[in-house]
Amino acid sequence: MRSTFSSLTLVLLTSVAAAQAQFGFFEQMFSGGGGGQQHQQQQQQQNVPSDSVHYRRQYDGLHCDKYLCPDTLACVHFPHHCPCAWPNHEDKFELAEGQRICVSRGGFAEGEAARKVQLARQGKL
């Protein structure tokens, strides 16, 4: 009787463990990697306040003896040396008086952003 009870308990525990593993896998796969509460905590960590306190805290905590780029927080010698925030998706253009702009490449063909900047400089766009 005891060995039957032990065997039955072992089978039951194994089945429960297998079911948890199976459904845990599907839950992770379809819910983005976490349970409900964990997923909510991740979302809360990603959301930042709508005021500028977070940015100012970072900005004030940095040391730069040259020029601190306000959008990327990079320390460079001159303002027009500031990098674009998304270099894989933006082209950088230097303007007069040491300024620069970053223009989204979008779905344009190679060099299309430069052509549009040139048209804007000529007042045609």
Q: Spell out the domain ranges in the chain.
A: 2-46, 53-121
The pLDDT of residue 29 is above 80: no
- Entry pTM: 0.53
pLDDT over 60 at 72, yes or no:
yes
Please report which confidence band the pLDDT of residue 77 belongs to, taking 50, 70 and 90 as the band edges: very high
What are the CA-CA distances from residue 104 to residues 7, 49, 73, 85, 115 (Å)? 65, 26, 19, 11, 13
13-17, 42-46, 66-70, 84-88: segment of lowest average pLDDT: 13-17
Report the C-alpha gap between 24 and 1 in whole angstroms.
Answer: 34
Question: pLDDT class for 22, splitting at 50, 70, 90?
Answer: very low
Averaged confidence pLDDT in the chain: 74
pLDDT score, position 94: 87
| The two structure tokens encoding residue 25 | 């896998």
